Amino acid sequence: MVTGKTKVIGLIADPIEHSISPILHNEFSCHLNQDYIYVPFKVSSDNLETAVHAMKAMNIKGFNVTVPHKVDVIKYLDYVDETADVIGSVNTVSIENGKLIGYNTDAQGFMDSLSVRDIDLSCESACVIGAGGAARAIVYALIKMNCSSIDIFNRNEEKAQRLSNYMNNKFQTSKCASFNLNELSESSIRKRYRIIINATPVGMYPNIAALPFNEEILADSSQVFYDLIYNPEQTEFLKFGLSKGAATVNGLDMLIYQAAYAYKIWTGEIPDQNIIEHIKKSAIADLK
Ligand code: NAP
């Protein structure tokens, strides 16, 4: 029940109607018996600054930030933690002693989704398709997981090159390399990537028949196909991996683990694996 003591957490985005974050966070509070309510706020880019100041004025505990505000919100915050600073975007803001502190929990969500499956990428090669905001968090996570090499393929090759150079400079490494998406097929023959990650929206509902690559790529059962998309549950990309015997992971786990980590930042409580599995079922039902 909402009372005068209930603490408020928000989400700012535009559009917001399809977000499943309110379901995840309100379920966390319900299962953990925490007196918090999570509320969606549709905020246009023109109103971002006003909305962020209003969050502070209304003594809100914190809020999530998603499309299209993850980068622009940074200029209205007091501090940004190291991970969010390197990734260059914020998806979680905590309001502590009147200060707005920005975090990025996407990389942690991705890492947790692999560790629960006992997938260890240390000294392994990785392939990332896409070089947008999500790919930045993924490349950051792959470096933190000590991958031996990270090949970034993008339709706009220059963008992949910028991301690769940026991460190599930040981490004083030469692990990242960039390629045009057209080179993926050939590269998959030369290099047997341990993990191939689709960090593009290609294959997402309603255009579910699309694959993020045009030419067939070489794949086998030693690999992991990871799609950041979670609607549909099984994209064409994941179906392709499955047909080669590869392990597959969709984006729902990353979404839930990043949410769990954000919830911990605001409340100090973290949902356990049983709660997460239970909530995953509700989320899947909601997506259908
Ligand atoms: P973004 O910043 O807009 O980047 C999109 C990327 O996809 C760019 O590299 C773009 O290439 C590429 N792309 C778009 N359309 C393409 C096409 N038709 N063919 C080939 N490449 C194409 O988007 P984002 O924020 O990174 O999000 C990417 C995906 O990750 C989305 O599906 C999003 O929903 C998902 N995501 C999931 C989670 C999760 O927790 N599961 C979290 C964040 C994001 P160009 O540079 O050439 O345009």
pLDDT of residue 281: 87
The pLDDT of residue 282: 82
Q: Which of 88, 169, 172, 168 is nearest to 134 (CA)?
A: 88
**Cα–Cα distance, 77 to 285 (Å, whole number):** 36
pLDDT at 216: 85
Nearest CA to ligand 1 atom 2: 132
Q: Model's pTM, two decimal places? A: 0.95
Give the Å distances, CA to CA, from 40 to 43, 63, 118, 258. 9, 9, 34, 17
Minimum-distance ligand 1 atom for the alpha carbon of 251: 41
pLDDT at residue number 83: 98
C-beta of residue 71 within 8 angstroms of C-beta of residue 89: yes
Q: Which of 215, 212, 168, 169 is nearest to 189 (CA)?
A: 215
pLDDT at 268: 97
Residue closest by Cα to atom 43 of ligand 1:
134
pLDDT score for 96:
95
pLDDT for 285 equals 81
What pLDDT shows up at residue 239?
97
Q: How far, in Å, from the CA of 30 to the mean position of ligand 1?
A: 32
Q: For residue 241, report the distance from its CA to the centre of ligand 1, in Å.
A: 19
User: What pLDDT score was predicted for residue 241?
Assistant: 97
Q: Which residues of the chain have pLDDT under 50?
A: none
**Contact, 135 vs 128, CB < 8 A?**
yes
Question: 220 C-alpha to center of ligand 1: Å?
Answer: 25
Distance 198 CA to ligand 1 centre (A): 8
Nearest to 155 by CA among 204, 106, 217, 201: 201
Q: What is the pLDDT of residue 24?
A: 95
Taking residue 28's Cβ as centre, other Cβ atoms within 10 Å add up to: 27
3-state secondary structure of 253: helix
The pLDDT > 90 percentage for the chain reads: 93
CA of 229, closest atom in ligand 1: 32
Per-residue model confidence as pLDDT tens digits over 52-87:
999 999 999 999 999 999 999 999 999 999 999 999
Give, for ligand 1, the residue of 228, 237, 252, 258 to mutate: max count of ligand atoms closer than 8 Å to Cβ: 228
Q: Which residue of 65, 155, 178, 226 sits with most ligand 1 atoms within 8 Å of its CB, as the best mutation to test the pocket?
A: 155
